[in-house]
Structure 1
Amino acid sequence: METMKVKIMHDKAPIPVSAEGGYPHVYKIIIVEDDEGLNRLIQKTLNREGFQTESALTGDEARKKISGKPGELILLDYQLPDMTGIQLIQELLEKYGPIPFVMMTGHGNEKIAVEMLKSGAMDYIVKEGDFIEILPEKVKRACAELHGKQKLGQALAESDRLMAAVEQAGEMIVITDVAGLIRYANPAFERVTGYTRNEIIGKNPRILQSGKQTPGFYQELWQTITSGRTWQGRMVNKRKDGKFFTEEATISPVLDPAGSIVNYVAVKHDITEHLRLTNDLHQAQKMESVGRLAGGVAHDYNNALSVILGYTEMAMDRTAPADPLYADLQEIRKAAESSADLTRQLLAFARKQSIAPKVFDLNEAVEGMLKILRRLIGEDIDLAWLPGANLCPVQMDPSQLDQILANLCINARDAIGDVGKITIETETVTFDEAYCADHPEFFPGDFVLLALSDDGCGMDKETSEKIFEPFFTTKELGKGTGLGLATVYGIVKQNNGFITVYSEIGQGTTFKIYLSRHKGMAGRVMEDNPPDPAPSGHETILLVEDEPAILKMSKMILERLGYRVLAAGSPADAIRLAEAHTAEIHLLITDVVMPGMNGRDLADRLSARCPALKHLFMSGYTANVIIHRGVLDEGVFFIQKPFSVKELAVKVRKAIESK
């Protein structure tokens, strides 16, 4: 124990402490003093002032009582029996980090004072005379200082957390002064705009202006925030590389305690990709809706055309070729067949076209079309063919590939107008999950790419967004139906592929079609080419069609071909006729979609009663009950409405004679 003297160092003004919530109630004072009597006296004095206290007589005892947690202040004697106070503090520093303490010493020389302060002492007391009376003030002062440091530390930590949040935020955050000059921008701003902080600090945000907003737009914005209100809105800005981006922004004034504006803060979100994905979704939904409408219209139209073609051909059979009426009937048939071609294009767009898929090499198929395509585009346009190596096979209807190439080449020819070049190329490509996450119309996997490019006039963005819509055309009246590219779109979608278009005014256009690579064997599909003359027969046929005009016309055709026909206007009627007919029924000809029961279910039900019954399905469009996603099942006989007398005759014979 050091000798007590009457000298107090570092005297300062007293610090008031409230009885309710002041510093004595916040901090616990741990008194480390080996003089037991003095220890008790100090403890009693501080308790009287409202402090919580705990005592220790040795350094070892102090180690056990000091937790290193906030809220402790150590009142430490310089000289202890088992160590010095400095040694104890050094141990605690290694264990806990900085420890708040006030050193007491019986020696008032400057060397010891400097040593204590270097060790981190908040203050020190020389134990001389009546120091015990002023000790509470010294402890209060230390507590006040400690409290201030802790509050400052908390404020700094809170500020650091806030700054870290701003720096790491995904939103762009920009702070300007009252003149609108940028004083701060976070990393998200750098990522989106391409400007570094050094490049934009001190600059006006107008360096991002794209020209897409009017001066009045910015004037209204500035009037809003300078009046102390918050502005919210959307604007198109320009990156450092010149590309546009769309952002949603909230700009607010920052006020000082007096209510004066000292800064403006903007929180901005880049919504460019969101707008693109939303637009893609809306476009896909629109195309799907138009496709359903087109498919329904084509189905009903085909039913009407079936009646027109059927009666026209029967009338032609009863009319001599030399009769003037025969030529008129021929014109009616041509018009009906031309109309049927239009409905087939609509069905292709609606992905309800009847197809006969085969596995083939895309390069070989394109090469087989080159001569026809060159005649199609004319001598003034060069056709370049760049086949990819080691191409994977694809599975689709070869006639559909012919449609795609013909339509795209015609479109390119018209875009070129005079002399130019068309390039067709293929390659194998792979899309991973990450790429497809940003392109919802794509699917991960391996694909075969068919690309067709031209150096024609090109298109603007507004036009390219509409080119796949049925009946949309940029050509003069009478020079285009607007179904060519719609047909291409439908064919690609029907074959589980996707198509993209890249075009700029004056820079030409590129269509890229991605078809799934084939991984299995193709099914056998029946040959459709009708021979001449139309074959006839004598078998019994059960004909089921819910459209009365088509039922009557088909019955007449079949009877003229020599068949015995049982005609039913519904599946229920067909079942009753089959049950009542005691002789053999050789063939069921049924529409696909009918009220009450579809054609496939009717065929299954009748086959249970008549296992040898053959089937021929017909429809204005291909329903999924027969054709899964428009693909003919192996061995299924199908005839697409409208059909000619010869086509029906051939299909009937093939179905009856099949094994």
Structure 2
Amino acid sequence: MNNELNIELERLEKLITGLFEPDAFNKVSESLLADVMLATGADFAMLSTKTSQGEFLTTHYDPLNYLSRNPLIHYELERCYDTIISETLKEGGKIIINDSLHPVYGYLHAVLGAESLTCIPAVFADISYGYILLGRAAEVFTEPDFSDTGRHSALAGIFLRSLHGVQHHRYLENRLAQKQKLETIGKIAGGIAHDISNILSSIFGSVAILKRKAKDQEDILRLVTTIERGAVRAKDLTKNLLSYGKSGGKLKEIVHPEFLIEEISRMISDSFPPSVDLRISADEKPDLIHGNSTQLFQVLLNLCINAREAMSDKGILEVEAKNLTVNTVNAVRFPFLTEGNYVHFSVADTGKGISEQDLGKIFDPFFSTKGSEENSGLGLYVVYGIIKGHNGHIEVRSKPGHGTRFDIYIPSMVKMGKQAVPSAPIILIADDEEELCDLLGELLESHDYYVLKVKSGEEVLRIMRDEIKVDLLIIDFNMPGLNGLETVTQVRQLNYTIPIIFSTGSTGFSYKFPVENLNISSIIHKPYDFETMLATIKELL
């Protein structure tokens, strides 16, 4: 008895120490499967599991090469993994399968080329972490063949549970390292973009003044327009860097995920070649999202285009949207998500996959596996920024030759039985100079303000009359239709007492116009300094 116990302890010690070796799953599994084959007289044995991240792993011990005849074995086993686990648990132990017409397992006889199959669950602490599948090519398994397989089930359960723990720990380490790296990159990129944008705000402000002063001087106006075009190109180059990790449009609409999926489906059906087999799946009523539908559409479209290119315009593209609740039961599967309700989007392809070396860099700015002439390398960098700006999370799984899957988790509006309400201050910007308005909006959004942008006084009043919540108004004096003063006058007549910042290109503005009775909080002159604007806003709010 003591001798048998010592042997089992040695096996367990060997199993545990093997977890930390390279290719641990295959090496330890081979020894375990060889042992169970010897005990049962099987011709081949397979061990399958799914990691906490959903990755399917399987390996086999097949000294007589029975399994080499069918290259689709891995695919078939992955497809039926959940069903096998469910059936095994339902039976409360091993399953002896001698009937090739069995409704659940029958097709596996043909796939594996076996006369008889047996499935033994790998159980630890009443939880199944996978299974051992045994096969015979000619003879049939009988009950006595499994009189000593309880220890194999226990050893497999301990091994897979421990393997899951080690892999999960490594996964968390890698994800944390990547998260810290991306946050550092984002801070550096954002700081540079802020400095450039501050300079551009002065350029745009000055250009607007020059255009008004030179409106009758065609040669000067042409030069000013050239300057403006150059500044616009510079703004576009810094926009993606500035939006890294930010949502790019804080005050958004209620987003219906099913509408996004429908729109993506139409776009792909119209523009992708027929050789791309599109498979769409969505819950009938996914939870609502408080976000920017244009940006989320951009994310999904970007990932779909990448998938099409990875498949060389031929393969299966799966797009999915479903509700997900993270709680104490499944929290271990989603270590970077807090408990709550999410909408889970996924985009999966059957393309060439991504190497492990590149997986850790795909969200880096300017990184691309394509040539520089094909891609700027900002695509997934922007995707990451949009998702983080929606307080969401994005995961990627891929293996060379086995395709790629992106999983996106966006918090839904369902929280504690109620709808989530934005808590950041809402700023309304009214300015008909579109480039300057966009630039100011982007800068404020990067500092976690929700922003509404309009081009006229009439639009300001429409928002106020609709009782849309606004915490601060930044308004330009010179606008078509109602000017700034006329608009503010009517805003005050509506009994709004919100702080108001006047933006003007006239240095003598405060002396030319009676603003005392309008309770204007501050006057900032164009071209203005963004840091001054930001400090003023913080003081007023």
**Please, what TM-score do these two structures have when normalized by structure 1?**
0.44
1:536 aligns to 2:483 (yes or no):
yes
1:195 aligns to 2:26 (yes or no):
no
**Residue by residue, what CA displacement relative to the aligned partner does 1:247-289 show, whole Å, maximum 9, x if unpaired?**
xxxxxxxxxxxxxxxxxxxxx9965443333222211111121
Separation in structure 2 between the aligned mates of residue 337 and residue 241 of structure 1, nearest angstrom: 63
Give the one of 522, 526, 531 matched to 1:588.
522
Residues 384 and 525 from structure 1, CA distance in 2 versus in 1: closer, same or farther, beyond 3 angstroms?
A: farther
**Residue by residue, what CA displacement relative to the aligned partner does 1:451-500 show, whole Å, maximum 9, x if unpaired?**
22344443222222211111111222243222221111122122222112
Which residues in structure 2 correspond to 1:585-624 (within 5 Å)?
Answer: 585-588=519-522, 598-604=535-541
1:342 aligns to 2:237 (yes or no):
yes
Separation in structure 1 between the aligned mates of residue 407 and residue 4 of structure 2, nearest angstrom: 51
Separation in structure 2 between the aligned mates of residue 356 and residue 419 of structure 1, nearest angstrom: 39
Give the one of 510, 516, 529 matched to 1:564.
510
Q: Helix, strand or coil for the counterpart of 1:296?
A: helix
Residues 432 and 327 from structure 1, CA distance in 2 versus in 1: closer, same or farther, beyond 3 angstroms?
A: same
Partner of 1:284: 179
Partner of 2:385: 490
Residues 336 and 377 from structure 1, CA distance in 2 versus in 1: closer, same or farther, beyond 3 angstroms?
A: farther
Count of residues in Structure 1 that have an aligned counterpart in Structure 2: 347
Q: Helix, strand or coil for the counterpart of 2:246?
A: coil
Separation in structure 1 between the aligned mates of residue 511 and residue 31 of structure 2, nearest angstrom: 75
Q: Which amino acid aligns with 1:303?
A: N
Partner of 1:433: 328
- Any gaps of 5 or more consecutive residues in structure 2? 19-26, 40-57, 63-73, 75-158, 429-451, 457-478, 489-500
Q: Helix, strand or coil for the counterpart of 1:479?
A: coil
- Shift of residue 380 of structure 1? 7.5
Partner of 1:397: 292
Q: Which has the higher helix share?
A: 2
- Shift of residue 353 of structure 1? 3.6
Separation in structure 2 between the aligned mates of residue 382 and residue 329 of structure 1, nearest angstrom: 51
**Residue by residue, what CA displacement relative to the aligned partner does 1:218-267 show, whole Å, maximum 9, x if unpaired?**
xxxxxxxxxxxxxxxxxxxx964799xxxxxxxxxxxxxxxxxxxxxxxx
Separation in structure 1 between the aligned mates of residue 285 and residue 296 of structure 2, nearest angstrom: 19
Q: Helix, strand or coil for the counterpart of 2:347?
A: strand
Contact 1:380 1:418 in 2 (8 A): yes
Q: Helix, strand or coil for the counterpart of 2:243?
A: helix
- Shift of residue 599 of structure 1? 4.0
Residues 301 and 273 from structure 1, CA distance in 2 versus in 1: closer, same or farther, beyond 3 angstroms?
A: same
Contact 1:377 1:409 in 2 (8 A): no
Q: Which amino acid aligns with 2:366?
A: F
Separation in structure 1 between the aligned mates of residue 363 and residue 288 of structure 2, nearest angstrom: 26
**Residue by residue, what CA displacement relative to the aligned partner does 1:565-594 show, whole Å, maximum 9, x if unpaired?**
89xxxxxxxxxxxxxx98765143679985
Separation in structure 2 between the aligned mates of residue 192 and residue 443 of structure 1, nearest angstrom: 38
Partner of 1:332: 227
Contact 2:350 2:402 in 1 (8 A): yes
Partner of 1:503: 398
- Shift of residue 354 of structure 1? 4.3
Which residues in structure 2 correspond to 1:53-202 (within 5 Å)?
Answer: 172=16, 194-195=32-33, 197=35
Residues 323 and 525 from structure 1, CA distance in 2 versus in 1: closer, same or farther, beyond 3 angstroms?
A: closer
- Shift of residue 513 of structure 1? 1.0
Q: Helix, strand or coil for the counterpart of 1:287?
A: helix
Residues 311 and 441 from structure 1, CA distance in 2 versus in 1: closer, same or farther, beyond 3 angstroms?
A: same
Residues 435 and 509 from structure 1, CA distance in 2 versus in 1: closer, same or farther, beyond 3 angstroms?
A: same
Q: Give the fraction of aligned pairs with identical amino acids, expressed as a percent.
A: 25
Give the one of 274, 285, 293 matched to 2:188.
293
1:464 aligns to 2:410 (yes or no):
no
- Any gaps of 5 or more consecutive residues in structure 1? 1-155, 175-188, 202-237, 244-267, 542-553, 567-580, 605-659
Contact 1:540 1:584 in 2 (8 A): no
Q: Helix, strand or coil for the counterpart of 2:453?
A: coil
Q: Helix, strand or coil for the counterpart of 2:185?
A: helix
**Please, what TM-score do these two structures have when normalized by structure 2?**
0.52
After superposing the two structures, state which structure 1 stretch, 482-491 or 347-356, moved more.
Answer: 347-356
Q: Helix, strand or coil for the counterpart of 2:285?
A: coil
Q: Helix, strand or coil for the counterpart of 2:284?
A: coil
Give the one of 411, 416, 427 matched to 1:516.
411
Contact 2:307 2:317 in 1 (8 A): yes
Contact 1:319 1:326 in 2 (8 A): yes
